[in-house]
Structure 1
Amino acid sequence: MGSFLSKNEFPVDGRTVLITGGSKGLGLNAARQLAEKGAHVIIVARDAGHLQQGIAFVSKGARSPDVQRFHHISADVTSAAECARVVAEAVEWNHGSPPDIVWCCSGSAHPSLFVDTPLPQFQTMMDSNYFSSVYMAHAVLSVWLKNTSSLSSSSSSPAKTAAIDDGTEEKQHDSAASDAEAKPPARHIIFTGSFVSFYSFTGFAPYAPSKAAVRSLADSLSQEMNLYATALPHEPRVRVHAVFPATMPTQSLDDENAVKTDVTKALEEGDQILDPAECARRAIAGLERGLELVPTSAIIRLVMTSVLGGTIRGGFWRGCVDTVLGWLTMVVMVFIRWEMDVKVARWGRENGVSGMKKDR
């Protein structure tokens, strides 16, 4: 998977996609582009007005408007009960079937110096970015996997049972091949990380840990889903991904910049800015290639390769390329960290501890 020779690993035509944070930014643009590919779409956010505007925008992109369906749900996904309600409503709206794909795009940032950050903000960051992902993943996985214990206890697979009754390996092989062909496409859960999931710096202490936790959650669940894939070979496989969007010029960025210190802004100079539509396009293209971790810019990919650890590499050849890039990036990062440390130290000498320029 992840090879340039592989088929589309993320088919959405005729499938139902649920996107939290779907009323603006990356979530809204991903919803529109998936609608253009034939998906039925449910968007989730708090603000009912933004949701109505968002669903109108998404539905205008429908590839088959007479067939595709669209829905919006107002909810606060930092609540476990609300996430369970969202999934239940999605199942009911979808004629009793759970969504095939869930993309957790909701989140917020409060980039400020650690000691200047109000203590409640640390909890808000974890709730908004990490726990919203945990609660939604738990709600949808509980639906997707709810019959696993009963199925597991009664399984030897039909193919294996036939082979035992018959005493022939040939029938087992033919049955297994037939089952593989009939197996439904994988389900997908997608988390949304950040550049600071891999590398944080001055001003992001309140925010970066929540995004690092999201990446760790994706890695953990990615491996855990193999348990169900092998124990229940006739059920849809669950694939877990994390998308790492570049900085996007949105209202959220304006809100971040309102609290961001000058020293943090100085360290961000040269950061790549991507339009939300382009960011969504790159994210979806990575999912279609079968990537589990999906960087949306060259700099994010380079930094990601230096800290992959036990993360799945996305195929042999991509793994080889990322390993070489990781070696090179680790050397470069020594100098990048040194340069940023020097900048911060110089800033302290010249401007003091506020993080703001003295002339402001």
Structure 2
Amino acid sequence: MWFSTSNFPVSGKVALIIGASQGIGADLALKLYERDCSCILVARTASKLKQQIERIEKSVGKKENTSLSYLAHDVSDYDQCVELWDQIVDSHHQDPDVIFCCAGSSVPKLFNDLTGAEIQSGITTNYNTAVNVVHAGFKKVLATNPKLAFNKHKHRHVILFSSVASFYGFIGYAQYAPMKAAIQSLSIVLRQELGPYNYRVSCVFPGNFMSEGFVEEQKTKPEITITIEGPSSPIPGEECAELIINKLSKGYDTVTTDFIGWLLGCSVLGVLPRTWGLFQVIVSFLFSIFAPLANWIVYRDIIKYFKKRQLEIESEAVDEDEESHKKK
């Protein structure tokens, strides 16, 4: 598998990319278009999608037999997903071979500091966008081919985007990690339910990569979250997109983009498709021995953080009292 690169042929195909107005979705569109794959870019904001198409055409040049188009829809709304698929299939007469569900956003904050709107956004953006697109699209395929036997459908490929945070969720990611774990679980279910219809289902677990979203995350990320994460330099978005395509081409359906991601993935192997499976089993065994110690160290750091925070709060309260007495 490692030496083969023929498992993700995209030349002459059509890719639907959800969350393509920025970040990894936009970078994947560029890399796929370079490989002569027609791309339909989808996000909520038409102006941003236009900018990405201009960027791709400026970088790669216009191609005669390969198209770039966009559709502005909020796919967290199921009804808009139905409209999206109606437009693609009925109006544009296209049948995407590859579906990338890249939409997502993280608001790293302590649980108590999150707003209700931020929690809801975590659900709609990180989970609903993926499940809505795949479900509405699958129903459209079945409705368009009502008499076709299940195993006679053309080969299609769904690529869901989870996160390394789904392997090990920790303080600061309550709005994000649980939804990305749900995407991981969804990939397992879809592999069973869509597989008979000739769908390949892959799940990507990216580490840090440079994007507009990554920059925004740093503005709210708690100090303790940064401490637990440790030093991590984000890789360029285009490099991340290239890594993902390369691993899909080698036939991997559990895709990580760095060594830390692969390592953490070993701690929750379960029924996920393997990558270097024998080594993963060995590392998983080691994790089962050392995980309690690692959890103890992390929790010790968390307690230290809250003690320090409490002292700062008490110190501020004393300063306020002294200032109040001076004014009197």
Q: How does 1:1-360 map to 2 (within 5 A)?
A: 3-62=1-60, 65-92=63-90, 94=92, 96-146=93-143, 150-152=147-149, 186-228=155-197, 237-313=198-274, 318-352=276-310
Q: Matches of 1:187 and 1:226 in 2, distance apart?
A: 10
Q: Matches of 1:56 and 1:340 in 2, distance apart?
A: 46
Classify the secondary structure of the residue corresponding to 2:48. helix
Change (3 A) 1:91 1:152: closer
**Stretches of structure 2 lacking an aligned partner (at least 5 in a row):** 317-328
What amino acid does structure 2 have at the position aligned with 1:281?
E
Give the TM-score normalised by the residue count of structure 2. 0.88
Give the TM-score normalised by the residue count of structure 1. 0.81
Q: Matches of 1:329 and 1:291 in 2, distance apart?
A: 23
Note if contact 2:17-2:42 (Cα within 8 Å) is conserved in structure 1.
Answer: yes
Note if contact 2:81-2:132 (Cα within 8 Å) is conserved in structure 1.
Answer: yes
**Stretches of structure 1 lacking an aligned partner (at least 5 in a row):** 158-182, 229-236
Q: Matches of 2:162 and 2:312 in 1, distance apart?
A: 28
Change (3 A) 1:61 1:68: farther
Q: Matches of 1:189 and 1:293 in 2, distance apart?
A: 12
Note if contact 2:4-2:249 (Cα within 8 Å) is conserved in structure 1.
Answer: no
Change (3 A) 1:115 1:78: same
Change (3 A) 1:291 1:255: same
Deviations 1:252-274 (A, max 9, x none): 12222222222222222223421
Deviations 1:274-295 (A, max 9, x none): 1111111111111111111111
Deviations 1:22-59 (A, max 9, x none): 11111111110001111001111112221111011223
Q: CA RMSD in A?
A: 2.5
**What is the aligned-residue identity percentage?**
30
Change (3 A) 1:338 1:238: same
